[in-house]
Amino acid sequence: DDGYRLWLKYNLIKDVPKREAYARSAQFIALTGTSPILKSAAEELQTGLQGLLGKTVPIIANAGNRTGGIVLTNASGADVQTLTKEGYKLASRKGSNITVSGKTDSGVLYGVFALLRQLQTGQAIDNLSLAGNPKIQYRLLNHWDNTNGTIERGYAGESLWKWYELPATVDPRYRDYARANASLGINGTVVNNVNASARFLTAEYIEKVATLANVFRPYGIRIYLSVYFPAPKVIGGLKTADPLDPEVKKWWADKTNEIYKLIPDFGGFLVKANSEGEPGPQDYRRNHADGANMLAEALAPYDGIVMWRAFVYKADPKSDRFKAAHEEFTPLDGQFDKKVIVQVKNGPIDFQPREPFSPLFGNMPKTPLSMEFQVTQEYTGFATHWVYEAPIFKECLETDTYVKGKGSTVAKVIDGSLHQYTMTAIAGVANTGTDRNWTGNSMAQANWYAYGRLAWDHTLSSENIADEWVKMTLTSEPKAVKTITDLMMRSREIYVDYNTPLGLSRPWSGVHFAPEPWQEKSVRPDWTAIYYHRADSIGLGFDRTATGSNALAQYRPEVQKQWNNPETCPLPYLLWFHHVPWTKKLSTGRTLWDELCTRFYTGADSVGWMQKQWAQVESAVDPVIFADVTGRLATQHKEAIWWRDSWVLYLQTYSKQPIPAPFKKPDRTLEDVKALSEIYKLR
């Protein structure tokens, strides 16, 4: 198994009585309607049933009096009253038909995938009464893909979009990509990098993008573009890109019209501006709202939206990067056009293995805020390390902001229920590429899957999502399912332990992989490692209390209370907020230094445990996938030890303390690990 089919594997169900029972309820697919989306729904159901049941189930136009089949209807009656636009309902009674209904064609499509999921995970289907409504309106993947086929932070091959071949050649893979996303309820795709090339707005590229849009449309997926703010200058020949300049406005309006001519359901624009050197409205003494509103105005005649990113920070040695987005954006609350959503990364810094939630969440009641999660493993070991990300996403979504009293979770900000947002959105930075299995590491398919499932329903648990994914993708053998889900559930914490325990962050070199906690020189202070961990002879960690940067003040008092006091601050966040002495006794009974060593060592050892656990599922999973993951785990183990050694040897130069028993001191020196990281940088 090369992994290409992802979780849409549809292998023949081996349990014969079960298969036959399913087959009795799936003798035909009745489809009323002819829209392309309904057609996709019926075809997908047919494909799924063909694989699972081993027979071709006919698609018929009308069930008439027949029973024992599956009826797909885009209905408007009383039974779909409780559904929202894209929601679905599955219902069945013995002796009758299974009905899959929705208020829209997309609802029916999502219902079909929900029904298939029932079969793929071995659930009963004869007494179905299941409804699903997405909690978030815009559920997007963001691809950081470039015109030349490279992907910024991609670890699974090249970009899926073959720009040089488009629009004439249409890779069949585009359709499979759309199927996979539709199966999760993802309804939008930003096809290009946020560090955007203006080329995407040329007539040549709009035609290519329109071709992709045509493939995605029958799967309920709309296309979006990241835009380069100075495009009016670069490709439009204007002298300025000032968002208040009438000619600039006209240029964007014309460009938008041009796009909609070819892509009538175009989703809108994603913008990274005045961030990490990307140009933006501030270059013209305008603010983010001026820039976003100008684009919103261009989109006004259409259904599209502007997603303006809040990922900003200035190269100012005196400021705390943690505070930057809140400082720049909260004063603009209320100033954004109604078509603008501000897209916020889950944490205040940058997709670290663990971060506290961004203090913007809850603090912009008049501006719809959307969540940006990183699915691609830029900071979690690329495609080698096995890190199941659902717990990262859930941890953030479930944290209480206390903005409107207890229970004001980040999820409620994002799903709009806290501030009655008029639009809601969520974005995941994709981990897909041209690797045959899409994500490099087969286990990383689960991250795409989990992101999509949570985008649809953030109340699902990480365990349940893992369980579903394993059953649909790897095996239904109960013991193996348990072993693998258990591995998944522990994988993130293990990674954090050997990588950034107790609230450490960003100990990276340029490519964000090789450990380099000693890195002290860069073009910007906040691009060094020492900026983040602040190790010195006294201790370790970034003081963000009132005696330090006071970033904590950006949170509500209830949140501050949890994190303000180093005695009671939960250990996962400790060094995010406090500079803690090496000899300080922590709640575990160990000193900071001993606790750090314990985490680094047990974290690295736990990868050995992962290897042993994985070895046990050999007979239950496909041999190719088994071998591939086995190999990756071996590398992960080696690298976990490298991480551990780098950190402890470096920090030891400050703590001046021995590695505590029972751990053995690394069998290499600080110079050795430094040399390794240097080599990593060579091209």
Q: Write out the catalytic residue numbers.
A: 276, 350, 378
> Three-class SS string for 470-485?
HHHHCCCCHHHHHHHH
Q: Which residue is nearest to ligand BDP (CB)?
A: 350
At closest approach, how far in Å is the CB of 230 from ligand BDP?
Answer: 17
Task: State the Cα–Cα distance between residues 158 and 146, nearest whole angstrom.
Answer: 10
Measured from the CB atom, the residue of 38 and 504 that comes closer to ligand BDP is 504
| CB of 307 or CB of 487, closer to ligand BDP | 307
Q: Work out how close the CB of 389 gets to ligand BDP at its nearest, in angstroms, rounded to a whole number.
A: 15
Nearer to ligand BDP, 49 or 270 (CB): 270
Site for ligand BDP, rule CB under 6 A: 152-153, 194-195, 272, 276, 311, 350-351, 378
**Residue with Cβ nearer ligand BDP (194 or 292):** 194
The string of DSSP codes covering 264-283 is: TT--EEEE--SBTTB--GGG
User: How many other C-beta atoms are found inside a 10 Å radius of the C-beta of residue 321?
Assistant: 24
450 contacts: CB under 8 Å, gap ≥ 6: 388, 389, 390, 393, 462, 465, 466, 469
> Which residue's CB is nearer to ligand BDP, number 226 or number 562?
226
CB of 576 to ligand BDP, least distance (A): 17
User: In terms of CB distance, is 334 or 510 closer to ligand BDP?
Assistant: 510
Which of 544, 133, 569, 559 lies closest to 361, judged by CA? 559
CB of 460 to ligand BDP, least distance (A): 26
In this structure, the chain runs to a length of 683
C-alpha closest to that of 386 among 474, 489, 315, 272: 489
Dihedral sign of CA atoms 611, 613, 615, 621 in order: negative
Give the integer Cα–Cα distance in Å for 292 and 280: 10
CA atoms within 13 A on the CB side of 230: 14
Minimum distance from residue 15 beta carbon to ligand BDP (Å)? 45
DSSP state string for 513-539 = -SB-TT----SSGGGSSHHHH---SSE
CB count within 10 Å of CB 278 equals 18
What distance in Å separates the CA atoms of residue 231 and residue 385, rounded to the nearest whole number?
38
Closest CB to ligand BDP among residues 352, 562: 352
The set of residues, in sequence order, having a beta carbon less than 8 Å from that of 102 and lying 6+ positions away, is 74, 75, 80, 83, 86, 87, 88, 89, 108, 109, 110, 111
Q: In angstroms, what is the minimal distance from the CB of 372 to ligand BDP? A: 8
- Cα torsion 229, 235, 237, 243 to 10°: value is -20
Smallest distance from ligand BDP to CB 378, Å = 6
Q: Which residue, 377 or 652, has its beta carbon nearer to ligand BDP?
A: 377
Q: How far is CA 86 from each of CA 90, 130, 187, 364, 392, rounded to the nearest angstrom? A: 13, 14, 10, 27, 27
Residue 153: CB minimum distance to ligand BDP, A: 5
Q: Exposed, middle or buried, 662 (CB in 10 Å: 0-12/13-18/19+)?
A: exposed
